[in-house]
Structure formats: C-alpha cells, structure tokens
Amino acid sequence: MPQPPIEEEEEPFERIDAVKAKELYDGHGATWIDVRKPDEVAREGRIPGTRLVPMDDLLANPWRYLTTDNVVFVCSEGIRSALACDLAAAVGLTKIYNLEGGIFEWAAKGLPIEK
C-alpha cells in the first residue's frame, strides 16, 4: 500500500538573500546578530552594527540575547545562523531572518564590511 506523501513543515523563519538583507539593514528596524566566533569575525570582517553573540553563548542562554522580534542572524555561510533562527523560534520570536550565504554572500555583493 503506498504511503501518503510527507508534508514538509514550514520553517519558523525567513531565508533572505543579501539584497533583501540590505533592505532590512537600511530600514534600521532589525537587530543583527552574528553567531560566528571572534576569530572568524577578525579574519572575515563583520557587517557594521551587528552584535557578536557566538553560537555557544546563544545556546547557553538564549533568553539573554533574544529579547525582541525582527532579528537577522548572520554567520559565514548561513548554516549556523539557520540553527540560531530555529532557537529564536523555540523561545517565542516570530520575525526571524537568516542571511543565506552569510557574510561571504554579503561581501560578494560589495555590501559594507568592517575589518
């Protein structure tokens, strides 16, 4: 007997590319959290105005850092930041964005980076 198709659950966050992220960045309404380690930020640079909260710190105490909605998460490529988005949803946030391609995609588009 054939199995019914498995329905994919909708993610509790929005995946955005660098162009859409820049619109949010320019709108000044979003909080930006970078979940990379300090040595990665030193090596790769950061988006000006982002708050560095390494993933281990975020996992250890999410309520300390996730206090408001409308958050954009950033990492190197968009993988750890997607996990951070799931964590934000688990603590009750609803307006959550993942920068797909991370800081590498942001930089590739020529968008602002601080070294």
CATH assignment at residue 86: 3.40.250.10
Does 17 map to a domain? no
For 18-33, what is the mean pLDDT?
Answer: 94
For 69-83, what is the mean pLDDT?
Answer: 97
Which percentage of the chain shows pLDDT scores above 90? 88
Count how many domains the chain has: 1
Does 55 map to a domain? yes
* Distances, alpha carbon 115 to alpha carbons 21, 29, 42, 76, 88, in Å: 20, 24, 7, 14, 28
